[in-house]
Chains A and B, each alone.
With several copies, the nearest count.
Chain A
Amino acid sequence: MTEVTLVQAVNRALRTAMSADPEVLLLGEDIGVNGGVFRATEGLLKDFGADRVIDTPLSETGIVGAAVGMALYGLKPVAEIQFLDFIYPGFDQIVSELAKFRYRSGGQYPCHVVIRSPYGGGIKGGLYHSQSTEAYFAHTAGLKVVVPSTPADAYGLLLSSIFDPDPVIFLEPKRIYRTVTGEVPEGDQRVPIGRARTVREGTDVSVFAYGAMIPPATEACQAAEADGVSAELIDLRTLVPLDAGAVLASVEKTGRAVIVHEAARFCGYGAEIAAILAEKAFFSLKAPIHRVTGFDTPFPYALENLYLPNAARIRQAIVDTVRAG
């Protein structure tokens, strides 16, 4: 065990997977000699060669499409999209091809692809280096969507994703790439896809969050203690498949829910959590379900700290929810 940052955990997981399985390879823009613009692939070209760490031309259509083709043939490509904001030129290959190959072929052609991408705001990236559009992918049947918030989860979930037989969109909260550190194991130690993580237990209200929202949500839950509120915090970790059991169990216990994400609210991922609760935990609910989210605007630049949910807003929502009923 060593203390590493989240982005270092990503790097280690890639290294572990590539060492374990020669059919794992990486492709993307600036991932080779440059080691990735966030250094997630640092050192891998040197150790695994240009055959397995492939710097591609500037085309997300090409990156995703080539990864699909490699996977059809049997390899396990891990594609990097430099920023989630730049994934859309590859969107057709993702939603029409990657997500549907297994299905349309009656199971003949699995698509063993991971698409890794740094996402989210808080680095003064403005409209095009800040987006959180996980809802697009979560709504697309056939894709798994994974979002770690700790180095250990980044490591263990990335390994699970790379060896998962289905396509995985692996979203890395770049804002906490280097601000969060923690221990990661050595070797092929995986964290299973499909299970939420209870960050802290509580009895009055359940807080659901993921990615870079975990640190402010944790802070908010702690602060809410001063208001006499015991908040349970669940890190959803894998958005698809959702650990609905954990979500429902928590709300059945607490009777209240606050959902946090930095993406725009309207039709965001939080809506699905609210909808599931309103359908399946209705009779446990004591108060309106509160969403603390980004605003329904594109992501701004100068005022990003107003756009992003912070601990104070989350704490207020927690307290309001408990007071509401």
Chain B
Amino acid sequence: MRRKVRTVRFLAQSYNRPPAPSGWALSFVPQSVPGRVVTAASATEIAPEDLGPIYRTMLLARSLDERCLAMQRQGRIGFYAPVMGQEAAQVAGAWALDPADWVFPAYRELGVALVRGVTLDELFDQFFGNSADRMKGRQMPNHYGYRDRNFVVGSSPIGTQIIQAVGAALAARRRKDPIVTIPFFGDGATSSNDFHAGLNFGGVFQAPTIFFCQNNGWAISLPRSRQTAAKTLADKGVAYGVPGVVVDGNDVHQVFRAVREARARALSGAGPTLIEVQVYRLGAHSTSDDPHRYRTDAEVAEWKKQDPIGRLKHELIEAGQWSEDQDAKLLEEVRAEISAAVTRTEAIGPADPLSFLDDVFATRTLQLDEQRHQLEEMLHSGLVKP
């Protein structure tokens, strides 16, 4: 079932795995969030010393999936959309960015968030919708954003961030900020109005944007083959004069290189790039989904062989820089960090009951003031309970 991964147009060199790096050792940054290790902005290969942190971040994302799925079953969080299978794509893709670049995520971009320095506590604050949540408990789990990390807050409607990212890129260019914007979206999102508008505006205005399409094979129950009759999703760039590339999203090197090249191209003024990152959604669409209804175990098993985490681990072990023992220890460490964050954040109280009447506008209108007052009275008299 493995789709053939091929390179189209624009990027001449092929994305084969680079020779195993030598003379470096895995170095993990100690806190839960790996903190971006700066590499020369022009480098198109992952710096050897970054592979460790990248691997750790991927493992952290995977472990978060496990924990959150369990917590959702226990009724401790309301919803969760796992990233499993897309860790290499997201972590390597985000790793190739500059912290000043603007990320426009969908709802499955946990790996990206971790690279941007979103902390475990911040994530769980959001999942619980507690009083520390930067989103003030207004969004479902997985829908978060942090302005200071240039990680825009996502929404549920599919695709809307794509054209927004183009707008932001034009704004950045107008301000002469040397950054790119990068919307993350799925194969399903290529059918959205906003993809069409985003790619078209991107092409016409030569926006410094990287369209990062994670083709994970499925849009809930719809397979990629029924989403569009295009040969590849990268091919869609042709419709907009935007170069398209296909990369194997289970290979951190390919993804990193593609983003770096697209970034350089965007900053040089040569316009946007559409990157189709071929991955597979190993888990369910979300905790509301039962993938057994629409796909076979055999297909999943086939893709599990490409598991990006196993693949990078293998590469590291092959290179003599890593061992199963160390891996087990790392996993334990990561899980402990998660547990600690859960304990801390679950103890934080719920959002202020009156808070949901804020932020409709910059300042509350008289009408909202009045409604807030009514709510206060209803809380007071016990008509409603938080």
A-side residues, CB < 8 A to B, are 25, 29-30, 32-35, 37, 51, 54-59, 61-62, 65-75, 77, 85-86, 88-89, 92-93, 96-97, 100-110, 124-129, 141-142, 144, 165-166, 194, 240-242, 244-245, 266, 295-298, 300-303, 305-307, 310, 312-313, 316
Contact = CB atoms under 8 A, between A and B. Distances in A.
Given A108-B153, A110-B362, A313-B378, A126 B139 contact: yes
B201 A303 contact: no
Interface in B152-180: 152-153, 155-160, 162-172, 174-175
Nearest to A103: B359
Contacts of A242: 367
Interface string B173-200: 0110000010000001101111011101
A65 B169 CA distance: 12
> Which of A92, A106, A127 neighbours the largest number of chain B CB atoms within 10 Å of its CB?
A106
A124 B198 contact: no
Contacts of A55: 221-222, 226
Contacts of A59: 191-193, 196-197, 200-201
B147 interface: yes
B233 to A, nearest CB: 12
B134 A106 contact: yes
B164 A312 contact: no
A110 B359 CA distance: 9
Contacts, number: 274
A105 B135 contact: yes
B319 interface: no
A97 B197 contact: no
B126 to A, nearest CB: 10
B129 A75 contact: no
Interface of B is mostly: mixed
Contacts of A312: 382-384
Interface string B333-367: 00000000000000000110101111111100111
Contacts of B358: 107
> Which of B146, B162, B360 neighbours the largest number of chain A CB atoms within 10 Å of its CB?
B360
Nearest to B144: A105
B200 A75 contact: no
Contacts of A241: 365-367
Given A33-B294, A165-B361, 15 more contacts: A30-B220, A33-B293, A37-B288, A58-B159, A62-B197, A66-B164, A66-B167, A72-B152, A103-B360, A106-B136, A108-B134, A126-B139, A126-B156, A128-B140, A128-B156
Interface in B215-241: 219-222, 226-228
Contacts of B170: 66, 69-70
9 contacts: A37-B220, A75-B175, A105-B147, A106-B135, A127-B138, A127-B156, A128-B140, A295-B356, A312-B382
Contacts of B307: none
Given A295-B356, A310-B384, A104 B222 contact: no
A58 B223 CA distance: 11
Q: Which 9 pairs, one residue from A and one from B, show the smallest C-beta to C-beta distance?
A: A69-B167, A302-B137, A65-B163, A302-B129, A62-B197, A128-B156, A66-B167, A73-B171, A34-B221
> Which of B164, B200, B222, B288 neighbours the largest number of chain A CB atoms within 10 Å of its CB?
B164
Given A89-B192, A245-B366, A109 B129 contact: no
A96 B192 CA distance: 14
A305 B385 CA distance: 8
Interface residues on B, range: 35 or more
B201 A128 contact: no
Given A69-B169, A300-B137, A56 B201 contact: yes
A194 B366 CA distance: 10
A73 B197 contact: no
A93 B196 CA distance: 13
Given A108-B147, A141-B360, A305-B385, A25 B164 contact: no
Interface in B104-154: 129-130, 133-140, 143, 145-147, 152-153
B317 interface: no
A30 B140 CA distance: 21
Contacts of B192: 58-59, 89
A123 to B, nearest CB: 9
Nearest to B203: A57
B204 interface: yes
Contacts of B129: 301-302
Contacts of B26: none
A9 to B, nearest CB: 21
Contacts of B171: 69-70, 72-75
A85 B139 CA distance: 14
B361 to A, nearest CB: 5
A70 B138 CA distance: 24
A92 B157 contact: yes
Contact of B172 (A32, A67, A73, A100): A73
A295 B379 CA distance: 14
Nearest to B131: A302
Contacts of B353: 303, 306
A156 to B, nearest CB: 19
Given A57-B200, A96-B160, A105 B167 contact: no
Given A57-B191, A104-B143, A306-B384, A66 B356 contact: no
Nearest to A83: B156
B140 A296 contact: no
Contacts of B130: 302
Contacts of B181: 69
Contacts of A305: 384-386
Nearest to B154: A104
Contact of A58 (B143, B219, B375): B219
Contacts of A89: 157, 192-193
B323 interface: no
Contacts of A303: 137, 351, 353, 355-356, 386
B99 interface: no
A314 to B, nearest CB: 10
Given A33-B221, A303-B351, A102 B200 contact: no
Contacts of B351: 302-303
B194 A93 contact: yes
B78 interface: yes
A196 to B, nearest CB: 13
A307 B385 CA distance: 10
A34 B292 CA distance: 9
